[in-house]
Amino acid sequence: MNPIISLLNRPHPGYEAFNAYIVSITAMSVGIFLALTYMHPFDSDGTYILGSPILTASLYAAASLVMMLMNACWIKLFPSFFSDERWTIGKEIIHCIFQMVTVAVIICMINYIRGMLPTGFSGFLLVLWVVMLSVLLPYLTAQIILHIYYVKRRLNKAATVNIRLMFDKKEVFHPVDPQFIHLKRYIKPVDVNSFIMAESKEDLLMITLSSEGGMEELIIRGTLDEFEAENAHFEQLFRCHNNYVINSDKITWVEGNAAGYRIMMHPKLPSIFLTGERGKEFIKRMGVERYA
């Protein structure tokens, strides 16, 4: 059981970017259209709408697409649950099954209106079986292939970044004259070489600094947008996340998985997870353009 649970808990690309959900449900709708066009599970006697099997399959596929678009309200209501950072293979499987059940419901409604198939629970089970075989299994197979592809690709990227980090740390050069970052409402000067990261928490900024092998934290009022604009001249400072600005010189390690990249800044600090466009931008910024 443990290997199965471990597999289901592996990170997988979620639906933080809404276009990913649109691509997902469009692929399912195309699968429904193709299955109904060539298999004719509900019209074996040739009773097509207006005598056209393509029109009949198009109606079922369009209704399924509309139903799955309505399900998008869950993504809007609970965005953190569907985020790339929290999404897993197990959640993807459950999500697919839920989509197939809702698709089976709308297909049963159309069949009821057309007077096709049994209208009771047995009719629903038959429709659900057809949908599962024609759409769910091919879709999950495609998701597994994509998962393996993303894992391999992002592991290679992370490995390349880590190799570069090791070489950069050997060649790192700090100017003789200290360079100070701009912090509003804070009098003490802060050298950019001691800056690790800034985290936004509502109207406060949590500034983390390296201090004689340890860490020091400052709390000041301000926004991350202001901090980023005031210190834009420092190339090593990077807005890698909506809530973080980091010093790329302080990155210690990068891990890759199917959903994105996890950045380690300090043993005592939690890792920062980057997904989507932020992940691509990070890879390019670290000088690994050919993998982006």
Check whether residue 146 and residue 8 sit in a common domain. Answer: yes
Is residue 230 included in any domain, yes or no? yes
End residue of a domain, out of 155, 183, 215: 155
- The pLDDT, as a whole number, for residue 292 is 45
pLDDT in tens, 231-240: 888 888 888 8
What is the pLDDT confidence band of residue 170, given thresholds at 50, 70 and 90? low
What is the pLDDT confidence band of residue 43, given thresholds at 50, 70 and 90? low
Domain with residue 217: its CATH number is 2.40.50.1020
What is the pLDDT confidence band of residue 42, given thresholds at 50, 70 and 90? low
pLDDT in tens, 131-158: 887 777 788 888 888 889 999 999 999 9
Q: Answer yes or no: are the C-beta atoms of 196 and 209 closer than 8 Å.
A: yes
Q: In what order do the strands lie in the sheet with 214-221?
A: 214-221, 204-211, 195-201, 244-247, 237-241
C-alpha atoms less than 13 angstroms from C-alpha of 133 in its C-beta half-sphere: 10
Check whether residue 26 and residue 106 sit in a common domain. Answer: yes
Is residue 222 included in any domain, yes or no? yes
Q: Answer yes or no: are the C-beta atoms of 257 and 154 closer than 8 Å.
A: yes
Residue at token pair 């990227």: 157
Q: How far is CA 42 from the centre of its chain?
A: 37
Residues 196 and 192: their CA atoms lie apart, in Å, by: 8
End residue of a domain, out of 107, 130, 155: 155
Q: What percent of the chain has pLDDT over 70?
A: 87
Average pLDDT over residues 160-167: 86
**Mean pLDDT (the chain, rounded):** 83
CB atoms within 10 A of CB 175: 9
